Amino acid sequence: MAAPRHSAQPRSRRTPAEPGTSRSPAEPGAHAVEVWSGTRRDQADSGTRREPAESPAGRPRWTDPAASRPGQLVWQLVTVWVLGGCAPLVLAGITRGFDLGGGVAVLATVMLVVAALGAVALLYLLARATSVVTPLGATPARRLLWAALMIGGGTIAWLAGRAIVNAHDLGILHNGRLTVLLGGAVMLPVAALLTRGWWLRTPAALILLVLAGSGLVAFRDSGPSEIDLRLAHTGWTRDQLRVVTIPGYQPTHQSFGLGSGGDEYRATGAILNSSSVTGRIRLVATLLPIECQLTPDCPGFAHPLLPPTGPSTFLGTAWGIDETDPPNAAIRDGDLILELTGGPGVTSAQLRTAVATARRATDAEVLTALPESAAPNPAEALRRWLRNHT
């Protein structure tokens, strides 16, 4: 007997009809057949879809720190922290070399160039290794831009933090461990600002704005004052500045008696020219020698109108040499000798009263009398601009 023939078509089963219903062979779908593969039957039996065994290409697992975005983010921030913490120590050593001068300064220059190139190279490699984290890691040009922004932004953030520390006299810069920790910490907001995701960029931008604003305010309020800068330009000190009050007179120019020829006062409303000296009064301030500043009894002090001790006023001719000399009054005020000399029409009583009114100049008088000098360096120029505009 011949073997039964089997169809090559896959086995199928007829969908059972619902109870209570019947279909005629003529109705469409009466003999509907559903083809079931082995895989689909397993899925239907389990009721769930099976995940593939491996993640698709280009989407690394979160557990892979070298390729996943969280892993690269942690890697980048930790590396930036370490580099930012070591940078102040390296720069401090280089600055010390510049201060020593000579061959050490040349070596410090070479070290500065090597350190700058090394920082750029390390940051470039870091951007390449963590390209998933930042939009500036795709091409070499963008990686160089990321490195430049990190160096520039980190320098500004570190200077702002230094200004705040110095303004409040915290002394953190004298502690090596704190310098490393906080020096690297100020670099983290800069790196976070250049990452993907608003949830990192927004707080980083706020932190940098607060840090920059506080640093500018601290920088503006620290350092030498405008008065100190002008005095340094003239070579004077605050203790040497004296003014006198002469009723009915005003100074033609004011240098507190320390300028060339001293200060000249004239009567209010008087017209003075080279052919007339009527009503002129001259103030000359003389600084005592160093050996006379340490003791009130100085053997080298030989002013004829004053004793070696105490502030006292005297009337008489200039140095007591000639009775025809103009009237003169002098006083010792600290380490200064203030001397008033009057022209024709000036009485000794006026000079005596005026020299007794000698006092220290106020800030407003110093700023009015001394012209603004050029800033000695760019930092002082920036500080002056901030003081004038904020």
- Taking the C-alpha atoms of residue 204 and residue 154, their distance in angstroms, rounded to an integer, is 13
- Taking the C-alpha atoms of residue 76 and residue 304, their distance in angstroms, rounded to an integer, is 78
3-class state of residue 11 by DSSP: coil
Task: Name the pLDDT band for 278 (thresholds 50, 70, 90).
Answer: low
- Neighbouring residues of 285: CB distance < 8 A, sequence distance ≥ 6: 240, 242, 256, 257, 258, 262, 336, 337, 338, 339
- Taking the C-alpha atoms of residue 266 and residue 283, their distance in angstroms, rounded to an integer, is 11
3-class state of residue 316 by DSSP: strand
Evaluate if residue 8 carries a pLDDT over 90.
Answer: no
Instruction: State mean pLDDT over 210-223.
Output: 92
Q: What is the pLDDT of residue 21?
A: 47
Q: Which of the two residues, 186 and 343, has the higher pLDDT score?
A: 186
Write out pLDDT tens, residues 289-302.
Answer: 766 655 656 655 55
Q: What is the pLDDT of residue 40?
A: 47
Nearest 5 degrees, angle CA 158-CA 168-CA 183? 25
Task: Name the pLDDT band for 99 (thresholds 50, 70, 90).
Answer: confident
Q: What is the pLDDT of residue 270?
A: 56
Q: What is the pLDDT of residue 349?
A: 80
Q: How many residues does the chain have?
A: 390
Q: What is the pLDDT of residue 319?
A: 47
User: Is the distance from CB of 98 to CB of 105 less than 8 angstroms?
Assistant: yes
Q: What is the pLDDT of residue 91?
A: 86
User: First vs last Cα of the chain: how many Å apart?
Assistant: 112
Q: What is the pLDDT of residue 3?
A: 47
Write out pLDDT tens, residues 361-376.
Answer: 999 999 988 888 888 8
Task: Name the pLDDT band for 201 (thresholds 50, 70, 90).
Answer: very high
Burial 7-29 (b: 16+ CB within 10 A, else e): eeeeeeeeeeeeeeeeeeeeeee
Q: Whole-number mean pLDDT of the chain?
A: 77
Q: What is the pLDDT of residue 116?
A: 92
Write out pLDDT tens, residues 263-277.
Answer: 888 887 654 444 445
Evaluate if residue 36 carries a pLDDT over 60.
Answer: no
Between strands 359-360 and 327-333, the pairing is unpaired
- Taking the C-alpha atoms of residue 310 and residue 172, their distance in angstroms, rounded to an integer, is 47
3-class state of residue 68 by DSSP: coil
Task: Name the pLDDT band for 180 (thresholds 50, 70, 90).
Answer: confident
User: Is the distance from CB of 83 to CB of 122 less than 8 angstroms?
Assistant: yes
Q: What is the pLDDT of residue 171?
A: 74
Which value, to the nearest 10 degrees, does the dihedral of the CA atoms of residues 256, 259, 265, 271 take? Answer: -150
* Adjacent-strand bridge partners of 336: 287, 333
- Taking the C-alpha atoms of residue 264 and residue 55, their distance in angstroms, rounded to an integer, is 91
Task: Name the pLDDT band for 41 (thresholds 50, 70, 90).
Answer: very low
- Taking the C-alpha atoms of residue 88 and residue 94, their distance in angstroms, rounded to an integer, is 10
Task: Name the pLDDT band for 66 (thresholds 50, 70, 90).
Answer: low
Evaluate if residue 48 carries a pLDDT over 70.
Answer: no
Task: Name the pLDDT band for 313 (thresholds 50, 70, 90).
Answer: low
Q: Determine phi and psi for 340, rounding to 5 degrees.
A: -110, 130
- Taking the C-alpha atoms of residue 269 and residue 152, their distance in angstroms, rounded to an integer, is 60
Ranges of beta strands (E only) in the chain are 13-14, 33-34, 242-243, 249-253, 263-267, 281-287, 314-317, 327-333, 336-342, 359-360
Q: What is the largest CA-CA distance in the chain?
A: 168
Match 């990192």 to its residue by tokens. 200
Q: What is the pLDDT of residue 308?
A: 54
Tell me the one-letter amino acid at 269. G
Q: What is the pLDDT of residue 149?
A: 96
Q: What is the DSSP letter of 20?
A: T
Task: Name the pLDDT band for 25 (thresholds 50, 70, 90).
Answer: very low
Q: Which of the two residues, 324 and 85, has the higher pLDDT score?
A: 85
